[in-house]
Each structure stands twice: as C-alpha cells, then as structure tokens.
Amino acid sequence: MKSGMNESCIGRLSQGRASTSPPRVRKISTAQAEELATKKKVVSAPKSVAGFLLMDSSSLRPLSFNDEAVQILGYPDDVANLAGSDLLLTEKIRSSLITEASPGEPVFVKDVRSGRRRYFCRAFQIDAHSKKPPQRSIAVLLERGPSGLVPSSQFCQQFNLTQREQEALQYVLQGIRNKEIANRMSVSPNTVKAFLRMVMIKTGASSRSAIVRKIMMSQG
C-alpha cells in the first residue's frame, strides 16, 4: 500500500569516519517506529522530496512506500507498473538499493542516481516488539542530494586544495564511486582514497557527506 511521509521523519546524516564501505542498517526505537506508523496515516501531509520505503527485512517486500520513492527507483521507466506490482518493486529495491549480500542483514548503497538527480540512502531497522515473534522491518529514506554543486575557487583556496584533490572532489559531488573516479583520473583507487583523505583532513570533515555540507554552507 502507498503512504505519504513527512520529511520530519528523516534522521540526521551520520558523521562517522570516512569509509568506502556501504552503511549497514541502523536500529531505531519502538517509540520512533510508532511515530513513523502514526505519521504514515496522515492523509494531508505535504509532498516530500524524500523517498520512503518500509519493507520486510527478510524478503525486502515493500510494505509501504510514497510516490517519490517510486519516482526515484522507477525513472525513466513506467512508474505506474512499478507502483502496482510488489514483485517488480522488490526486484528494483534489490537491484538499485542493495550493494551486497550479508548473512545477517542486507547492506544498502550510500547514494542512488535517478536521472541527473542524486539521493542519499539511509536505512533503519525497526523491531515490532508488540508481535510474537517480533516482526522486523526496514525503513529506507532517499534524501535529495545536491545537483550540479561545484566547490568555489574561494573554498578551494581557503583549504589549499591541490588541482588533483579538486578534481577528485568534483567527481564525488557528482555521486561517482572511487573505482570510476580512478578510471577517469587514470590513477589507482587507492590514490583516489588518498586524495579524498587529504581533502577531509584539510577541511576538517569526517566523511564525504560532511564535505558536501561544508561546500553547501560555504555557498549559502
């Protein structure tokens, strides 16, 4: 079934250590899960730019989702067919959001590209302790990222970024992964990691997301 979601349910971006490994599912409390369920019933909620999916943790079958999530995952295909079929949507979730199999839980991608738009993927594990046995679900938020964001020359001068560090940073802002960045820059993935590590050290950012926020704040 479909459900609109208010952006107020979006969790803050984590600011952990920089890593190229995808984020694993994070747990939220029962109270937070109940809040999500309550907001899910609000019919007059304003349209959100964030996509929301609630799915079964074992099969990844969608239990609830909003129109924006279908638009993000379905573009440029016929989203009506995707929204009307749990099977098609489940397959799309597996192909677009899951990066690798895990014995205990699925591992989700960090970013999702939909056309020219970029979305940050955030996954939360929900335990429904009121049921026996407890029913586990996964809530996924797809938050709109910056589009066409370019670090200003002032920003680069402020943090004394080299030309190659600026180049690697620009690819990161486009949502390109390290392996592809390495191909475009004709260097090894480890060299790309070194460039980005230096950018984080110079700017005082702890992650890629933190770098993006710094750039957005500098241009605000």
Domain boundaries, the chain: 7-144, 153-218
Dihedral (CA of 152, 156, 162, 166) sign: negative
CATH architecture of the domain with residue range 153-218: Orthogonal Bundle (1.10)
Kindly state the DSSP code that residue 44 receives in the 8-state scheme. T
Amino acid at site 119: Y
Question: Can you give the pLDDT at residue 198?
Answer: 94
Question: Can you give the pLDDT at residue 165?
Answer: 92
Enter the tokens of residue 97: 């959001």
Is the CB of residue 193 less than 8 Å from the CB of residue 155?
no
9 vs 29, residue with greater confidence: 29
Confidence check: pLDDT of 98 > 80? yes
Q: What percent of the chain has pLDDT over 70?
A: 68
Stretch (H or E) spanning 125: strand 117-128
CATH number of 7-144: 2.60.40, 3.40.50, 2.102.10, 3.30.450?
3.30.450
Short-list 168, 149, 148, 158, CA closest to 215: 149
Mean pLDDT of 147-155: 65
| Domains 7-144 and 153-218 alike in fold | no
Short-list 187, 179, 63, 50, CA closest to 119: 50
Q: Please state the separation of Cα 66 from the chain's center in Å.
A: 16
By DSSP bridging, strand 26-28 and strand 117-128 are parallel
